[in-house]
Structure 1
Amino acid sequence: MRFFNRITLQTPESVELEFTLAGIGNRAYALLIDYIVWGLILIIFLIAWVFLSIQFIDVIEDLIGSDTQLELWLVSIQLLISFFIYVGYFVFFETLWQGQTPGKRYVKIRVIRDDGRPARLQQATLRALLRPVDDLFFMGVFFIALGKREKRIGDWVAGTVVIQEEQPLTAANVSVSESATTLANQLQTQADLSRLLPDDFAVIREYLQRRDGMTAEARTQLSRQLATQVKDIISLENVPQKVTANVFLEAVYLAYQQQSSSRYSG
């Protein structure tokens, strides 16, 4: 019996990735945490706004006398800024933290696009703008509970899904060369492996697992394409000479696992 729904997404490199969906319980827990954090931010803003508004009204009354319309304008501006804080909270964190908010990071779930890539500013903005619609009469809960991909309205419009974070595990059928092991040790100091996301690692792992079943031409083309993209992601200036794309990907695969193992063990 499977307690969590899993989905398979296809990346632009035609690699299929399998993810575990976050589930309505995890998403509700993360949202509760986010609302608590957002509420604290809003309370601080409101306290500061009330203090500044009183000072501003006193100054205006000394100059032109009492004006009830001024108070209405201040209330309208307050509501508008509060809405921007509400939307901006989710947009800011999901863009900065690769699809995670403080709540999602604590619960270990993350927003990704339908092609397996991390959510960007466009997706985060659409999800945030439609969140009030999803919260209205619990429409989001209804869509998540009944949909196979557990998407709320914001997810459907933005083209995103919410998945569980999974610690990468070593695949038994991934073979690496000795030269890749040597290069992996060099990458630990020469490259920024922290920029490599779990989804990026999964793409590399899927390729290494399936490369033996590919034609030589397809294997060469895909390995070079992946190696170029990975090189840019990890900010590696130069790849050692005579290192093939396959060996480079093997080295990145090993280096990422070594870094993950040391991080989790520490």
Structure 2
Amino acid sequence: MVTGEAVALELRPARLPSRALAVLLDLVAGMAVYVVVTIALVAATASLDEAARAAISIALFVLVLVGGPILVETLSHGRSLGKTACGLRVVRDDGGPIRFRHALVRGLIGVIEILMTFGVVACVASLVSARGRRLGDVFAGTLVVRERVPAGQAGFVPPPPPWLAGRFSGLDLSAVPDGLWLAVRQYLTRMGQLDPRVGWSMAERLAADLAERTGAPVPPGAPPAAYLAAVVQERQVREARRAFGHGPAGGGGAAGAAGPAGGAPPSYPAATVAPGVRPAAYPSVDQGAAVRGERAVPPQEESSADRPSTGFAPPA
């Protein structure tokens, strides 16, 4: 999931208890509407024969208890009354908003696995599925996720340095597994709590794994943590385009990834602090050495008086 600020959130799939509560609230609301409309129709069709009243009752059941949830999920992009109350949302497998066909398949199969079997089939399928999906989700290609995350659980992911922003706009990220993305995000949100040597070692290992799967090595002179943040930012930009149809302004874009004419490496500006960038998030690097392709002086070779305390000093 991506917020309006194009921040990728590691939302977990909704499990059986929260989904069951959401379905219960939806059924209570649907039954209340069904009873009210039924009473009104009984009074209005008192002069009709029994066959006509039976046909109207069946049509009312289909419209309210089957068509109603489909219409609500389509118009609200996956948020019914119960799901909104429980902080849940139905999304496609790729994270995008659902459309009418997804809500239609979920609603039709839900009649069998929820209404006709009193939810037994849906409960069994949700318990068996690794992501808590019922049969309607499997056939529709959807997933119910937790949309709300407590503020204390949403860690701050530092943005990359300005000279790395947009550098990886043409990178192929399809081979990176979800487990590695989660590990990188957890590292970036907690790197300030790690021992300096341990943090630097973890960043190098994660950067090596990410470079192996993307084919883009760490730029010369760039700290591995800055490389991780730059690739994560590129993933956020792409998820924003996929979810909202356009990417957020700024962030480098393709222009930041392309070098000057003739294939020469881009001339990176001196390290500056952009708005929202934490100055001590990454070790200082020799930008000139990075441009020339030379090895930058690692943090442990700098004097202790000049080296900032960043939490990323490599082992001595």
**Normalised by the shorter chain, which TM-score bucket?**
0.5 to 0.7
Shift of 1:245: 2.7
Contact 1:42 1:85 in 2 (8 A): yes
Contact 1:223 1:245 in 2 (8 A): no
Distance 1:42 1:155 in 2: 25
1:105-116 equivalence runs, <5 A? 105-116=84-95
Unaligned runs of 5+ in 1: 1-8, 10-15, 58-69, 181-201, 249-253, 255-266
Shift of 1:132: 1.8
Contact 2:25 2:82 in 1 (8 A): yes
Letter in structure 1 aligned against 2:145: I
1:150 aligns with 2:122: no
1:93-132 equivalence runs, <5 A? 93-132=72-111
Which one of the candidate residues 158, 171, 176 is aligned to 1:173? 158
Contact 2:96 2:242 in 1 (8 A): no
Distance 2:147 2:125 in 1: 22
What secondary structure is seen at the aligned counterpart in 1 of 2:44?
helix
Percentage identity across paired residues of the two chains: 23
Letter in structure 1 aligned against 2:20: A
Contact 2:91 2:97 in 1 (8 A): yes
Larger Rg: 2
- Deviation string 1:28-74 (CA, Å, 9 cap, x unpaired) is 111111111111110111011111101x43xxxxxxxxxxxx32122
* Structure 1 pair 32–226 and aligned structure 2 pair: CA distance change class (3 A): closer
Shift of 1:164: 0.9
Distance 1:32 1:132 in 2: 14
Contact 1:22 1:109 in 2 (8 A): yes
1:161 aligns with 2:143: yes
1:1-266 equivalence runs, <5 A? 18-54=10-46, 56-57=47-48, 70-135=49-114, 136-137=116-117, 138-167=120-149, 169=154, 171-175=156-160, 215=216, 232=245, 244-245=252-253
TM-score (norm 1): 0.57
Distance 2:85 2:122 in 1: 21
Greater fraction strand: 1
Shift of 1:224: 8.6
Contact 2:66 2:111 in 1 (8 A): no
What secondary structure is seen at the aligned counterpart in 2 of 1:20?
coil
Unaligned runs of 5+ in 2: 2-7, 166-180, 189-205, 218-230, 257-275, 277-316
Shift of 1:229: 6.0
Contact 2:31 2:65 in 1 (8 A): no
Distance 1:48 1:103 in 2: 25
